[in-house]
Amino acid sequence: MAKRIRLAKRVVAESDRLAARLAETFQQAGVFVANLMSSPGSGKTSLLEETARRLAPQLRMAVIEGDLATDRDAQRIRKAGIPAYQINTGGGCHLSARQILDALDRFDLAALDVLFIENVGNLICPAEFDLGERRRIVLASTPEGDDKPIKYPVAFNKADCIVLNKIDLLAATNFSRDAFLGFVRGLNPAAPLIELSCRTGEGLDAWLDYVRAERRAAASGAPRTPK
Amino acid sequence: MAKRIRLAKRVVAESDRLAARLAETFQQAGVFVANLMSSPGSGKTSLLEETARRLAPQLRMAVIEGDLATDRDAQRIRKAGIPAYQINTGGGCHLSARQILDALDRFDLAALDVLFIENVGNLICPAEFDLGERRRIVLASTPEGDDKPIKYPVAFNKADCIVLNKIDLLAATNFSRDAFLGFVRGLNPAAPLIELSCRTGEGLDAWLDYVRAERRAAASGAPRTPK
């Protein structure tokens, strides 16, 4: 058991070292890098599609997609008009700093304003791994139920921004907005919480404003402030 | 790296040994044990609540609940009228055979017909671990999107039964039933696929019939046939 713990500590230290290197690279390039995480099917790819369609004329964006299998998400992003690079993790339940570092060979960071990393659909493992991102965005969606924050506390506690998607389905579910807000604020008092629907477009403006503001901060060389 | 692989192999071998012990215990007791897995918020607990309410008069049931944190699910199950024991994994992304073995001290298996294990909400890690169950049930729900099977292929490939929940939300989403069925059958040609809504009750009878039939098979001493 002691051997297992020593080995695990070494793996974590290596991951943190690579994440710090990534953070430095991103800061020097002045690129806003966001790491998106959520359950499968909360709408990460849909949010990035809408962001690409609405901001691509103004901002130079790209996406790194993480999935166990298939390149469906990268295809969807490319159809929405911006470059995407697909990482398939096989069985891996999260993206690693090493995978992001390797993927950067595919992008000219200096030619980008915003780089989105869409993590593997999983509310648990991705929350444990820093990818050097400026902001960590956690998505939830109304059909998943209002109690997800307290059931997956690490993800919501470490989030820099929380997006509640599928508000168009509120009336068709037994999701309580008040309960959700209470759970979120108990774990994370200050992170922006943006409620939207990728399907209807409601609330998307607040999200786009957030992306623009973070992009300006990154471009000005402001350092990230990881939790 | 070689040391890491040797260590990982030893951990897997220990897990498989404990799972085989569990399977033997369950078979000798003649109890139908089902291991439920899905994304967070697909409706595992809702399905077990409805099952408890509708079958408790006929069958003696209990639930082992797995969550990172809180005992909310165990409370919901108890309110629905059957015993539940909550395991909190802390950061752990799946239940382990060791945890199930320890939890069995809380139950008189000989006094049960059916034991449900509700795994941690995660479509990835739980699929890698046998808990000695007779049947592995994978849930999906319509708002998650129709492509989840090919994006999380191990879970759907290894499933003994697939439940599609929230069919009441079909019209409010862009879920294609045909696409979902195609993806499922490409990975898993033969497993029963039960479409239902825990909210409206539609389709629940087919699920209850499945549970009754599996309970009869387990009681008759029929061995499990793991994939």
Closest of B107, B47, B111, B110 to residue B80, by C-alpha: B47
Residues of B with CB under 8 A from a CB of A: 3-4, 7, 11, 39-41, 67-70, 72, 91, 93, 120-125, 128, 141, 143-145, 147-148, 150-154, 166, 168-169, 172-174, 199
| ipTM surpasses 0.90 | yes
pLDDT digits (tens, 9 = 90+) for A56-113: 989 999 999 999 999 999 999 999 999 999 999 999 999 999 999 999 999 999 999 9
Closest of B151, B141, B156 to residue B203, by C-alpha: B141
Residues of B in contact with A65 (CB under 8 A): none
**SS3 of B45, please?**
helix
Structure-token match 């790491």, residue found:
A35
- The pLDDT score that the predictor gives to residue A2 is 67
- Do the beta carbons of residue B23 and residue B177 sit within 8 Å? no
Contacts of the segment A174-182: beta carbons below 8 A, 24+ positions apart:
A174/A145, A174/B199, A175/A142, A175/A143, A175/A145, A175/A146, A176/A146, A177/A146, A179/A146, A179/A147, A180/A140, A180/A146, A180/A149
- Cβ within 8 Å, pair A121-B41: no
- The pLDDT score that the predictor gives to residue B134 is 98
Q: Give yes or no for residue A149 having a pLDDT over 70.
A: yes
Confidence of residue B11 (pLDDT cuts 50, 70, 90): confident
- The pLDDT score that the predictor gives to residue B226 is 72
- The pLDDT score that the predictor gives to residue B10 is 84
A&B contacts, CB < 8 Å: 114
Domains contained in chain B, CATH given: 2-219 (3.40.50.300)
Confidence of residue B7 (pLDDT cuts 50, 70, 90): confident
A221 CB neighbour count, 10 Å cutoff: 9
- The pLDDT score that the predictor gives to residue B132 is 98
pLDDT digits (tens, 9 = 90+) for B35-74: 999 999 999 999 999 999 999 989 999 999 999 999 999 9
Contacts of the segment A67-70: beta carbons below 8 A, 24+ positions apart:
A67/A120, A67/A121, A67/B151, A68/A92, A68/A120, A68/B124, A68/B151, A68/B152, A68/B153, A68/B154, A69/B150, A69/B151, A69/B152, A69/B153, A70/B147, A70/B150, A70/B151
Confidence of residue B6 (pLDDT cuts 50, 70, 90): confident
Q: Read off the pTM.
A: 0.96
- Do the beta carbons of residue A39 and residue A151 sit within 8 Å? no
Q: Give yes or no for residue B172 having a pLDDT over 90.
A: yes
Residues of A in contact with B91 (CB under 8 A): 124, 128, 154
Instruction: Report the pLDDT averaged over residues A27-36.
Output: 97
Q: Which residues contact A205 (CB under 8 A, 6 or more apart)?
A: none
Structure-token match 């998943």, residue found:
A144
Residues of A with CB under 8 A from a CB of B: 3-4, 7, 11, 39-41, 67-70, 72, 91, 93, 120-125, 128, 141, 143-145, 147-148, 150-154, 166, 168-169, 172-174, 199
Q: Give yes or no for residue B1 having a pLDDT over 60.
A: no
Residues of B in contact with A180 (CB under 8 A): none
Of B7, B120, B172, the CB nearest to A172: B172
Residue B105 one-letter amino acid: D
Tell me how close the Cα of B124 comes to any Cα of chain A, in angstroms: 6
pLDDT digits (tens, 9 = 90+) for A112-126: 999 999 999 999 999
